[in-house]
Amino acid sequence: MTRKTTTILRYDLDNYYLAGFRNNPYWLLDNNLLTDNVNRILGNAQITYTPLSWLTFTYRAGADIFSDYRKQKFAKGTISLVDGRYVEDNTLSKNFLSDFIVTINRDITPDLNARLILGHNLQDNNTSRSVADGQPLIVPNFYDLSNVTTTVNTRADAHTRLFGVYGDLQLSFRDYLFLSFTGRNDWSSTLPTKNRSFFYPGTSLGFVFTDAFKGLKDKSWLNYGKLRANIASVGKTAAPYSLLPVFTRSSITDGFNGLYQFPLNSIPGFAVGNVRGNANLRPEITTSWEIGTDLQFFQNRLGLDFTYYHSVSKDQIVNVPISSTSGFNSQTLNAGTMQNQGIEVVLSGTPLKTKGGFKWDIAVNFTRNRNKVTELYNPLAPVNLGGLGATGLQARLNEPYGTFFGSKMLRDPNGNVVVDPSTGRPMVDPVQAPLGNIQPDFTAGLVNNFSYKGFNLNVLFDTRQGGKFYSQTRVAGRFSGILEETTYNDRQPFLYPNSVLKQADGSFIPNTTVKTDGGFNYWSTISNISENSLFDASYIKLREISLSYSLPRTWISKARLTNVQLSLIGRNLALWTPKSQQTVDPEVSSFGTGNAQGYEFLAYPSPRSYGFSVKVIL
């Protein structure tokens, strides 16, 4: 109380109304702090021994050790934690790497060089995390584990090892024909003993035909040409402890911080874990081949890189959510096989280059990927990849990875929306359905670079066309009524456009009488139907403009400097999205890089930024 009279608080708790859901954010900022203290040590040591001019032994050892100590404070008065809470969350991570490499490099004939690498690789990764979660606080605003009534301690340790041997033979003939063979065998601690060893080979061929056939080079329009082809496999192992089901110390929550924590009144209890083990897990192997060419024309004024690729990932390791009615909630599976094929094209050129020093460079890149799930562990059931609320993301047989699946509005045979005869709001189709895919049709970029006497202007656009995403911002905006679309018809009752009513005999008649209410309930119904929260993920972005100026040598040479460059940089300067989606930046994934892509969950848009830089090179 005295504080109130002496200082002006930036919040007014007594008159701040948030309906019991949330604390005032300024209050949270002042009271509930997370401190994070990270210490990291990186070390490397290498011994090289060259007994013969063509023979080298190398031993390399590396360590990456870090600790991450977090302290989270919840003051008394925090909504849903009214008596306060204090959490210490400490992680220690130790990662060791060892490589022993034998390199043999010899010219077999003056034209033919051979380089053979034989290696042995060891990885040991050890993470241990311990969490002490204490509540309630005894003395307010004092945060120490001695100051809580009950502390729940949990540990999560993970230790993995990988052991590999590999070989790499590279042959080059007269520096224009290159042939290589690689092979690696790994043994992983995280796979069942019977499946822990896996071998993955590769081979590649490169041919600089402009060097092989000197005659070609005389053609003035072609100055460099290379053909390349390769095929290779890569193996991937599983996360630790995926093989056996476990029991977990029982801890029961309701999503609102309510909790039964065993031991319950000193009676111990263990629950059957919810992750089903998989004692037959196999490594995931991706085999891909590609062919391509790099060409340079007209004294490097025009260049073309073209690649066609095809890859098959077999036995993909996915942590698949499964129906709780089976007794488990998820299982790590070799869920299926996925195929990717596509082209990548980079076209670069210099349309203008004057004697006066003006130069315009332009580069276009284009990528088109076609993805297909070609095999599933259970051909009848799609694999769930996760998702948000009523809209799930699935891998479905013979469809691209990442198909949205959920509810649709009920429609008559002509595609008109059927509305509820009592509420006037769209009805839900009893059958859930695929609702589009996250995969884009193509992505592309365009770079223009203009330079003139030390000035350099660089303009970068990029685009993604096609594919869908789920927007929780849109859902929340409808819920709270902050979106323009929610003012439709001034929030007064209206007839859902082109809607129909279902008759008792199963036929449909145009709806001319039953109006929806125009407010919260209408928008709530709309958002609850999955298809209404999926949007076109296409965009064009003005990704970056930079203008730089390098000071003339004559000005700086006295200061013994090589280069001084001043730049103005702007990033994410403009965004164009389709008319149907003008609300959010589609280029965000709220679930990181995991299985469930294509979800925007109240994410911040990519920030627009402006910068100024000075680069000084001695």
Partner 1 sequence: MKSFVKSIFLVSVLLSATTACNDYLDINTDPNNPTTADINLVLPSGQAFVSFVVGGQFNILGGTLGQYWTPPKGGNQYRQWDQYNINSSTLDGNGGQFVALYSGAMQDFQNVITNGTAQNEWRMVGIAKIMKAYTFHVLTDLYGDIPFTEALDADKTVTPKYDKQKDIYAGIQALLDEGKADIAKKQGRFPGQADLIYKASSDADMEKWTRVANTIKLRSYIRLSQVDAAAAKTGVQALYSGQNEFIRSSESFTFANSANTNAENPFWQAVFRLPNNLTASKTIGDLMTPVSDPRMPVFFLDADLSTPAMDYVFVPNGTLASNTPDKTSYPGKWFIGQQFTNGAIRGTDVASGVSTTDNNNARARATIFLSYEESLFLRAEAAERGWAPAQEVAKALYEDAIKASMSRYGVAIGDFLSKVDYTKATNKIQAIISQKYVALFGTGGLEAYAEFRRTGFPAMPLPVTNITGGKYMKRLPYVDSELQRNPNVSQTGIAPGDILTPVWWDVD
**Quick one: which of 257, 319, 369, 590 contacts partner 1 (CB under 8 A)?**
257
| Measured distance CA(95)–CA(310) in Å, rounded | 34
Residue 479 near residue 523 (C-beta atoms within 8 A): yes
19 binds partner 1 (CB under 8 A): yes
Residues between 452 and 491 that touch partner 1 (CB under 8 A): none
Residues between 270 and 289 that touch partner 1 (CB under 8 A): 270-274, 276
Q: What does the per-residue mask of binding to partner 1 show for 305-344, with x meaning CB under 8 A?
A: ----------------xxxxxxxxx-x-------------
Please give the C-alpha separations between residue 613 and each of 454, 547, 555, 617, in angstroms, as whole numbers: 15, 10, 19, 13
Pick 190 or 210: Cβ nearer partner 1: 190
Q: How far is the CB of 582 from partner 1 (least distance, A)?
A: 26
Which of 48, 43, 67, 70 is closest to 58 using CA atoms?
48
| Measured distance CA(459)–CA(283) in Å, rounded | 44
**Quick one: which of 28, 97, 117, 381 contacts partner 1 (CB under 8 A)?**
381
- Rounded to 10 deg, the angle between the 472-480 and 520-528 helix axes is 160
Residue 86 near residue 138 (C-beta atoms within 8 A): no
Number of residues that bind partner 1 (CB under 8 A): 101
16 binds partner 1 (CB under 8 A): no
Which of 344, 355, 398, 391 is closest to 376 using CA atoms?
398
431 binds partner 1 (CB under 8 A): yes
Residues between 399 and 418 that touch partner 1 (CB under 8 A): 405-407
Beta strands 275-276; 330-334: pairing state: parallel
Please name the amino acid found at residue 473. T
Which of 157, 158, 160, 206 is closest to 179 using CA atoms?
206
Pick 210 or 525: Cβ nearer partner 1: 525
601 binds partner 1 (CB under 8 A): no
55 binds partner 1 (CB under 8 A): no
Q: How far is the CB of 157 from partner 1 (least distance, A)?
A: 5
Q: Which stretch binds partner 1 (CB under 8 A): 4-12, 198-206, 213-221, 243-251?
A: 243-251
| Measured distance CA(446)–CA(544) in Å, rounded | 11
494 binds partner 1 (CB under 8 A): no
End-to-end CA distance of the chain: 60
Q: Which two tokens stand for residue 244?
A: 């056996």
132 binds partner 1 (CB under 8 A): no
506 binds partner 1 (CB under 8 A): no
Pick 188 or 581: Cβ nearer partner 1: 188
Please give the C-alpha separations between residue 271 and each of 29, 248, 262, 275, 540, in angstroms, as whole numbers: 37, 5, 10, 11, 50
Please give the C-alpha separations between residue 603 and each of 55, 122, 296, 599, 610, in angstroms, as whole numbers: 54, 39, 43, 9, 21
Q: Which stretch binds partner 1 (CB under 8 A): 79-87, 554-562, 563-571, 584-592?
A: 79-87
Q: Which stretch binds partner 1 (CB under 8 A): 106-114, 236-244, 302-310, 601-609?
A: 236-244
Q: How far is the CB of 190 from partner 1 (least distance, A)?
A: 6
254 binds partner 1 (CB under 8 A): yes
Which of 414, 387, 382 is closest to 397 using CA atoms?
382
104 binds partner 1 (CB under 8 A): no
392 binds partner 1 (CB under 8 A): yes
Q: How far is the CB of 417 from partner 1 (least distance, A)?
A: 15
Pick 349 or 389: Cβ nearer partner 1: 389
Q: How far is the CB of 607 from partner 1 (least distance, A)?
A: 29
Burial class for 46, CB neighbours closer than 10 Å (0-12, 13-18, 19+):
exposed
120 binds partner 1 (CB under 8 A): yes
Q: How far is the CB of 187 from partner 1 (least distance, A)?
A: 6
**Quick one: which of 17, 221, 604, 612 contacts partner 1 (CB under 8 A)?**
17
| Measured distance CA(197)–CA(586) in Å, rounded | 41
**Quick one: which of 156, 279, 602, 616 contacts partner 1 (CB under 8 A)?**
156
| Measured distance CA(373)–CA(336) in Å, rounded | 7
Q: How far is the CB of 169 from partner 1 (least distance, A)?
A: 20
Burial class for 586, CB neighbours closer than 10 Å (0-12, 13-18, 19+):
buried
15 binds partner 1 (CB under 8 A): no
Q: Which stretch binds partner 1 (CB under 8 A): 35-43, 221-229, 268-276, 305-313?
A: 268-276
Pick 208 or 529: Cβ nearer partner 1: 529
